[in-house]
């Protein structure tokens, strides 16, 4: 302590021979402590606010927009307003690039196709993907979507190789069996569309990842643990005993052990395994042959993280889109009949030849494919994606400071009347001509674009073939409204009543 500051507080001082106690010393010690803590807290809060609102060096060139209230920014507005109108109001007011502050982060929103292309494609190296740490912990930090650079491109090539048309062509009959098994349980019943679609998309994801090797017991265990994981993923990241997040982290460790056991078993058996796991194991075996003395390019824990990551990416997305398709077909009965006619044309060929669907059949479903395209646009289940500026970036005449989040707004672009006239109308015929470049990005764009787009479309076509030729459905309750969990889906997951198609006619 500095000597000139210490004495008065340590000793009472004299006044005309009378001992005078400064008032401060009459205050009880606990109260002093409370005052001290309050002042320190106030000081820290003020310091934080100053740091947060410290203007970057080149203040003038920040994009327009409002940073909202100190610390909370515009988060409350985003959560109380409909997220779509939150973005579109600001776009109308500030233009295609604007700043805001949500969830504790300064952000730049991007809603022009050209600017989104710069972030995702041409200058993608300046904008790294960014996710909350809790999500990385649950999925596994080595999953490809958290990475950039050499590791990302190596794993991405392998994942792409597993889901390109030539690789998934052979899975048509297996996917068809999954669809038929699920639809067989429907018969005259009420059900929750989203939950049913999740079952379907999950089973398809499992065979695409693990191949068709029959390790049923192992698979059941993996499915069960995965479901625990999923519950924790969308919960508060509170790692305390009893919380869903804690249970999910426990499930994640067990899942890792199971996957490692499965990997070892497949490696020992020496049999060629299919699916993504087969491709990853083969890549690792080839690495080992080439570089005997070096570390393998991909480790078993990297394989496990990517397996879990791909199941995550494949499952809820496809299930949410399928749920929207059923809603749009329900709301547009003439369109449903036209899709059914297209599918019945294929069905009669299959019946004549006494065979199931083939890849080639799925290439002859133009109207059904356009319904899928239009659903991906209208519902835009990934409304935006997150990136983070890795350095101060000069962008379209503005500064994006290092560390700021950058969000290309897919939904806003998909709903712009400049690119999609009457954007709120569900009109698959708009896809009779291809959309303008970079205006349609349901599967993203650039290095991180979706490697599973062909699989997603294939499984939706197969499902719609059997659904429209077998069943009709009525939405129960309030047919309109959206809920987020985490993707936007029709309210309550679209409860509906299904009945065999013949009974309707």
Binding site for ligand HEM (CB under 6 A): 129, 144-145, 156, 159, 163, 208, 310, 313-314, 317-318, 321, 381-382, 385, 442-444, 448-452, 455-456
CA-closest candidate to residue 443, choices 39, 160, 85, 138: 160
Residue 140 Cβ, how far from ligand HEM at the closest point, in Å?
Answer: 12
Nearer to ligand HEM (CB atom), residue 450 or residue 489? 450
CA dist list (Å): 401 to 86, 87, 90, 186, 379: 23, 21, 20, 53, 32
Q: What is d(CA 306, CA 141) in angstroms, rounded to the nearest whole number?
A: 9
Nearer to ligand HEM (CB atom), residue 279 or residue 382? 382
Residue 68 Cβ, how far from ligand HEM at the closest point, in Å?
Answer: 25
CA-closest candidate to residue 174, choices 308, 314, 359, 377: 359
Residues 6+ apart with CB under 8 A from 244: 231, 232, 235, 236
Nearer to ligand HEM (CB atom), residue 302 or residue 385? 385
C-beta neighbour count of 265 within 10 angstroms? 13
CA dist list (Å): 495 to 87, 184, 325, 375, 383: 29, 18, 14, 19, 24
Given CA atoms 288, 294, 300, 302 in this order, what sign does their dihedral have?
Answer: negative
Nearer to ligand HEM (CB atom), residue 277 or residue 455? 455
Nearer to ligand HEM (CB atom), residue 94 or residue 386? 386
Contact 280, 297 (CB under 8 A): no
Cis peptide before 486 (omega within 30 of 0): yes
Q: Is 450 annotated as a binding residue?
A: yes
Nearer to ligand HEM (CB atom), residue 68 or residue 444? 444
Helices (H) and strands (E) counted in the chain, each on its own, are: 21, 14
At 135 the three-state DSSP class reads helix
Residue 318 Cβ, how far from ligand HEM at the closest point, in Å?
Answer: 4
Q: What is d(CA 140, CA 453) in angstroms, rounded to the nearest whole number?
A: 22
Nearer to ligand HEM (CB atom), residue 74 or residue 459? 459
CA dist list (Å): 485 to 5, 136, 194, 316, 380: 58, 18, 11, 9, 14
Q: What is d(CA 472, CA 468) in angstroms, rounded to the nearest whole number?
A: 7
Contact 239, 245 (CB under 8 A): yes
- β strands within 103-145, DSSP E: 105-110, 127-129
CA-closest candidate to residue 258, choices 224, 296, 293: 224
At 394 the three-state DSSP class reads strand
CA dist list (Å): 210 to 199, 213, 227: 16, 7, 17
Nearer to ligand HEM (CB atom), residue 139 or residue 263? 139
Nearer to ligand HEM (CB atom), residue 134 or residue 380? 380
Residue 336 Cβ, how far from ligand HEM at the closest point, in Å?
Answer: 20
C-beta neighbour count of 428 within 10 angstroms? 23
Q: What is d(CA 299, CA 260) in angstroms, rounded to the nearest whole number?
A: 11
Nearer to ligand HEM (CB atom), residue 385 or residue 468? 385
Residue ranges of the annotated binding site for heme are 450
Residue ranges of the annotated binding site are 450
């Amino acid at each position: 302590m500095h000597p000139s500051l210490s004495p008065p507080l340590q000793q009472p001082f004299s006044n005309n021979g009378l001992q005078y106690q400064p008032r401060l010393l009459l205050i009880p010690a606990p109260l002093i402590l409370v005052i001290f803590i309050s002042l320190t807290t106030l000081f820290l809060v003020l310091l934080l606010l100053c740091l947060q609102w410290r203007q970057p060096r080149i203040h003038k060139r920040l994009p327009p927009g409002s940073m909202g209230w100190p610390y909370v920014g515009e988060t409350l507005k985003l959560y109380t307003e409909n997220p779509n109108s939150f973005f579109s109001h600001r776009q109308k007011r500030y233009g295609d690039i604007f700043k805001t502050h949500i969830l504790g982060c300064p952000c730049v929103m991007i809603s022009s196709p050209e600017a989104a292309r710069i972030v995702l494609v041409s200058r993608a190296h300046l904008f790294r993907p960014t996710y909350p740490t809790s999500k990385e912990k649950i999925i596994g930090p080595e999953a490809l979507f958290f990475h950039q650079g050499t590791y990302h491109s190596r794993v991405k090539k392998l994942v792409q190789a597993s889901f390109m048309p030539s690789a998934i062509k052979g899975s048509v009959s297996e996917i068809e069996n999954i669809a038929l098994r699920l639809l067989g349980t429907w018969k005259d019943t009420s059900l929750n569309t989203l939950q049913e679609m999740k079952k379907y998309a999950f089973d398809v994801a499992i065979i695409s990842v693990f191949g068709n090797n029959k390790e049923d017991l192992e698979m059941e265990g993996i499915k069960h643990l995965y479901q625990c994981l999923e519950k924790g993923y969308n919960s508060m990241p509170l790692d305390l005993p009893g919380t869903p997040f804690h249970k999910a982290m426990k499930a994640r460790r067990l899942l890792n052990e199971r996957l490692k056991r499965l990997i070892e078993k497949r490696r020992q058996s020496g049999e060629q395994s299919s699916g993504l796991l087969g491709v990853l194991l083969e890549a690792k075996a080839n690495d080992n042959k080439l570089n005997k003395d070096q570390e393998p390019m991909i480790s078993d824990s990297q394989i496990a993280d990517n397996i879990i990551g791909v199941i995550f990416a494949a499952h809820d997305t496809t299930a949410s889109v399928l749920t929207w398709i059923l809603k749009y077909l329900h709301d547009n009965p003439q369109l449903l009949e036209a899709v059914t006619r297209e599918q019945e044309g294929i069905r009669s060929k299959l019946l004549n030849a006494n065979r199931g669907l083939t890849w080639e059949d799925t290439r002859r479903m133009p109207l059904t494919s356009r319904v899928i395209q239009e659903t991906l646009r209208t519902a835009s289940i990934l409304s935006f994606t997150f990136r983070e500026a890795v350095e101060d970036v000069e962008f379209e005449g503005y500064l994006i400071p290092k560390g700021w989040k950058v969000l290309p707004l897919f939904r806003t672009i998909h709903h712009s009347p400049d690119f999609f006239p009457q954007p709120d109308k569900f009109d698959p015929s708009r896809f009779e001509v291809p959309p303008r470049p970079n205006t349609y990005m349901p599967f993203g764009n650039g290095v991180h674009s979706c490697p599973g787009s062909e699989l997603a479309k294939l499984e939706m076509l197969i499902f719609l073939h059997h659904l429209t030729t077998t069943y009709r459905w009525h939405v129960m309750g309030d047919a309109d409204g959206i809920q987020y969990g985490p993707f936007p889906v029709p309210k309550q997951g679209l409860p509906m009543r299904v009945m065999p198609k013949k009974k309707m006619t």
